[in-house]
């Protein structure tokens, strides 16, 4: 049975919520920006009017104001955005219980069996070509429009919808008609709609992968779809097979039930800085701040120890780089930070201008690893006990009350509690192994 998958993407979400609550902002260029005094003076979201001025997510406040002198800046209210996100999901739940989140402002919906949506359509649901029955474009567009209109009426924000027969194409479709539009990528016409699009438009194709594909002449989704299976396997391994399946429309990944909880595969955090980071000492200090957050979350998660450390870097031109390495199982901040800094030194050479940093761990042992003799000699257990004590003290008295020496060198970093407050996380990441 042909599936009907909708990908919904809330338009300029943070800015839209602010406009909903303050109608005087309507029609004005609006940017939701972090607090400059806490080194988070960057654009987190912007309205369509701000976009037309050239303002981008990640711009500093002064850059945004330079591009648009009439820009209205409002501070973020993350708790409020989470509440609105829940309200939108409650609308989706009227039509289906197969709702899978992809961030605070995006969801996949499987509406294949949504009798409520189907009943409201009075036209022909099917079209026949070469003896094969397909859902009609008009019917599929109706489903997306119904979702959009329901969200707009009940919550007061707009959403763009992509409607297709798999998750990958549905996600691509939601990007084709923004804001507040519905795009249909049907099983009958998908090749003519998307095969001419740039290969980086495909879900999970990050910058590094796109560059490698372009170097092979695979510049469009259609060219990728027609690539030799053996060549892709040789160049990309199993990832190459996934890329081919996605490009060819063969993705069969199900939309999860709204109550399902994904198995935790990684724990990480990232921060974006108001000014360029240009010296190694500060990089090291910031990596310790992030690693403390990651280590604390790892201990809280009950996932045990991790055996892989990932580093993500974004420069002043918003170019992304990421790399990873296998390590001895650990949940210690000092070890995670040391590995992250080692990756940075080996791969990022001065001079550099860093705008964002991210640290992630994965490869959890779920408590099954045994302490080796080497770890016993290094007093691993005692060091972990110390870090757990630090967690307790911070929870009771505040994050900044107990700090490592390197972090305390800079008071602003000392107050940067990224464990409980974080901003931007990359959407497309390639993680090549070190070396």
- Supply 122's token pair: 């009075």
Beta-strand (E) ranges in 241-280? 266-277
Distance in angstroms (rounded) separating the CA atoms of residues 204 and 194: 16
Question: In sequence order, what are the beta bridge partners of 8?
Answer: 107, 161
b or e along 241-265 (b: 16 or more beta carbons within 10 Å of the residue's beta carbon)?
ebbbbbbbbebeeebeebeeeeeee
The position carrying tokens 């990944």 is 253
Question: In sequence order, what are the beta bridge partners of 359?
Answer: 269, 311
The position carrying tokens 């210690």 is 332
Active-site residue identified among 106, 292, 335, 413: 106
DSSP string, 98-134: -EEESSTTEEEEE-TT-HHHHHT--S--EEEETTEEE
Distance in angstroms (rounded) separating the CA atoms of residues 192 and 343: 43
- Supply 394's token pair: 């911070």
**Quick one: angle between helices 78-92 and 137-155, nearest 10?**
130
Torsion over CA: 416, 418, 424, 427 (sign): positive
Please name the helix (run of DSSP H) or strand (run of DSSP E) that holds residue 362, with its range, or none. Answer: strand 354-364
Active site residue 106: yes
Q: Would you give the DSSP letter of residue 267?
A: E
- Chain Cα centroid distance, residue 43: 16
Distance in angstroms (rounded) separating the CA atoms of residues 225 and 171: 17
Distance in angstroms (rounded) separating the CA atoms of residues 261 and 116: 26
Compute the C-alpha angle 423/348/399, nearest 5°: 35
Compute the C-alpha angle 322/64/288, nearest 5°: 35
Which residues are tagged catalytic? Answer: 106
């Amino acid at each position: 049975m042909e599936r009907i998958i909708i990908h919904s993407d809330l338009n300029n979400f943070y800015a839209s919520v602010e406009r909903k609550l303050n109608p005087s902002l309507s029609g004005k260029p609006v940017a939701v920006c972090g607090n400059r005094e806490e080194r988070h003076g960057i654009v987190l979201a912007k309205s369509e009017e701000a976009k037309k001025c050239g303002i981008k997510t990640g711009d500093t406040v002064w850059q945004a104001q330079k591009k648009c002198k009439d820009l209205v800046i409002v501070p973020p209210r993350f708790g409020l955005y989470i509440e609105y996100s829940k309200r939108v999901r409650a609308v989706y739940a009227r039509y289906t219980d197969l709702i899978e989140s992809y961030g605070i402002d995006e969801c996949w919906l499987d509406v294949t069996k949504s009798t409520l949506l189907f009943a409201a359509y009075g036209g022909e649901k099917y079209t026949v070509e070469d003896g094969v029955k397909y859902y009609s474009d008009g019917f599929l567009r109706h489903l997306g429009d119904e979702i959009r209109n329901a969200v707009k009426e009940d919550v007061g924000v707009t959403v763009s919808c992509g409607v297709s027969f798999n998750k990958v194409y549905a996600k691509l479709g939601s990007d084709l008609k923004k804001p507040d539009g519905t795009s249909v990528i049907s099983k009958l016409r998908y090749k003519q709609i998307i095969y001419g699009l740039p290969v980086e438009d495909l879900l999970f194709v990050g910058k590094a992968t796109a560059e490698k594909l372009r170097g092979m002449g695979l510049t469009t989704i259609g060219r990728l779809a027609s690539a030799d299976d053996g060549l892709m396997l040789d160049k990309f391994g199993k990832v190459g097979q996934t890329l081919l399946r996605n490009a060819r429309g063969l993705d069969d990944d199900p939309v999860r039930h709204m109550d399902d909880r994904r198995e935790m595969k990684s724990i990480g955090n990232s921060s974006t800085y108001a000014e360029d980071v240009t010296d190694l000492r500060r990089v090291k200090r910031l990596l310790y701040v992030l690693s403390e957050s990651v280590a604390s979350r790892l201990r809280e998660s009950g996932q045990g120890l991790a055996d892989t450390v990932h580093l993500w870097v974004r420069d002043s031109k918003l170019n992304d780089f990421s790399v990873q390495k296998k390590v001895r199982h650990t949940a210690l901040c000092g070890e995670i930070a040391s590995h992250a800094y080692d990756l940075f030194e080996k791969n990022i050479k001065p001079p550099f201008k860093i705008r964002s940093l991210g640290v992630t761990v994965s490869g959890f042992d779920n408590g099954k690893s045994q302490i080796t003799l080497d770890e016993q000699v290094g007093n691993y257990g005692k060091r972990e006990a110390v870090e757990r004590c630090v967690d307790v003290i911070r929870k009771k008295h505040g994050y900044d009350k107990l700090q490592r020496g390197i972090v305390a060198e800079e008071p602003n970093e000392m107050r940067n509690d990224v464990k409980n407050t974080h901003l931007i996380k990359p959407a497309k990441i390639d993680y090549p192994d070190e070396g």
